[in-house]
Amino acid sequence: MKNLMSQLVALSSYIGLTVGELYKPKNSILCSTNKPCPPEWPCCSPYNECGAGPICVGGCNVRSSFDEESCAPLPALVANLKLEFSSTPKAPKFVANYQPRPPIKEENGPNKANTKVGVVEGELNSKRIIHYAKFLVTTDNNEAEKMLEDFDFTHSGYTSIEASSGNIVLAMPKKTTGSLISSTRSFLYGKASVRMKTARSRGVVTAFDLISAIGDEIDFEWLGSDLMMTQLNYYSQGHLDYTRMQKYPVGADTWATYHTYEIDWDPDRIKWYVDGKIARTVLKKDTWDPINKEYRYPQTPMRLEVAVWPGGSEANGPGTINWAGGLIDWENSPDIIKKGEFTAYVEQITVTPYQNRFTEQVQLCLKGKKKAPTISQKDLSKVVVSYKRQDRKIHYDEESLQWDCFVTPKINDWLSSGKQSKVLQQ
C-alpha cells in the first residue's frame, strides 16, 4: 500500500474539515521522529501534522508527538471480545448526545450525502459510528465511558449510510479528499475481515488496512483503474518499502461485486485472504534487517481502517499519481457524471483479537482492581494500552507497550492533550 500517512501530507487535510482549524494551527506544523511536535500543539496525527484535542486520540503518533504522554491511551480490543459492523447492528443507547456541535462543514464544497448533517450523523451513530472529532473529547468521565460502550468506529470525510441496505458509504465528491472509517479500539494480533465494494476510475484508491500509532501497517489496496486486482503490502514503524508489494487477482470486478478480504496477523506471520482463498503469507523470520538488527514486522497494536482517497490528486507527487493510474478526471468519470461522487460500500466488518503475551497480565489487572476472582465482558472493555518512554530512535515492539485496566481515556477539549487530561482510574 502507498502509505496513507505519507501520501496525504501534501493534501490540505485527509478529513477536510474547516472545524479542524480549532485543533490544528493555522499554518500547518509537520512532525517526524527528528522533529517532534511543540508543546502548544503536542500531538502528531497519522498524516504527520501537529495538533491537539481529537489529534491526541486514536491514531496519535507517539514517536513524533511532544512526548509519550501527549497521546491518550489507546482503548484496547482484547481476547474474548469482538468488534463487528453489519447492516443491522445493535443501536447505541446514547445517540441523542452525539449530534455534531458545531455542524460539520466540508471545506471542498457541498456534500450531497451530508446536506442534513444531524440526520446523517444520527444514522451513523445508530450503526455505532461517531465522528472522530467528538470521540472521547469531553470533560465528563461518564460520557467518555458511554462513548467507549456505544461506538465501535469513528468516521471522517463524506461518510453516510445507504438507505436501501444499511451499508456504509465512503464517498469522494468532486475535488475532495475522500472518506475514512476507523475502529475505536486497537488490538495486538488477530483476524480482521471486511466485505465491501471498491470505488472505481483512474486515480481513485480504496484501502483496507491495519495501522498502528507508530506506523506499523498491513493492507489491501485497490486502484480504481484496475478492478480485477488487489495490492498487498506491510510496513514497519513507517519505514516505506514499496518493493514488498504483491498483486493478487480477485477474479471478479471489485466495484461491481462484493468480496470478502481478510488479514490474519499473529506474532510469527501475516496471511491475506480473498473470498476465503489464501493470497499471500509473510513470515516474521523473513523480515530480519541485518543492518539495523531488527525485524521489519508489524508488532504494535493496530486499528482497522477503510478509506477512499485521491491517489491521483493534482496535489500529490508524480510517483503517487503514476502509481494510482494517473490524474483523476473530476469532470468526466462515469460516477461523477451519474451521481457527483466516487463511492465504496462496506457491508460487513469483523475483528477477532487473539490472545497475546499480555493476556494473563490484563486479566490479573482486571481481577486485582475489581477485587473479584472473575471478570465480565464489560470488564474486558476497560483495558487500555500505551507506550513506555524510550528513545524515539529505538525500534518499537511488544516491549515498548504498557497495559492498564479500568481506565477511561479522554481529552478534555479541542485544545487539550493526553498529558493535560486526567484519566479516570476506578
What are the catalytic residues? Answer: 217, 221
The b/e string for 202-212 (b: 16+ C-beta within 10 A; e otherwise) is: bbbbbbbbbbb
Amino acid at 394: I
Map residue 99 onto helix, strand or coil: coil
Pick from 303, 132, 295: which is nearest to 207 by CA? Answer: 303
Amino acid at 22: L
Region of residue 202 (left: phi > 0; alpha: psi -120 to 50; beta: else) = beta
Residue 260 pairs with which residues in a beta bridge?
A: 195
**79 φ, ψ to 5°?**
-55, 145
Q: Which residues contact 307 (CB under 8 A, 6 or more apart)?
A: 4, 170, 178, 179, 180, 181, 206, 207, 209
Cell numbers of 123, please?
A: 444514522
419 and 67 Cβ atoms separated by less than 8 Å: yes
Q: How many helices (H) and strands (E) does the chain have?
A: 7, 24
Cα separation, 121 vs 99, in Å, equals 7
- CA-based end-to-end distance of the chain: 41
Q: Which residues contact 414 (CB under 8 A, 6 or more apart)?
A: 22, 23, 52, 53, 54, 133, 137
**278 φ, ψ to 5°?**
-65, 130
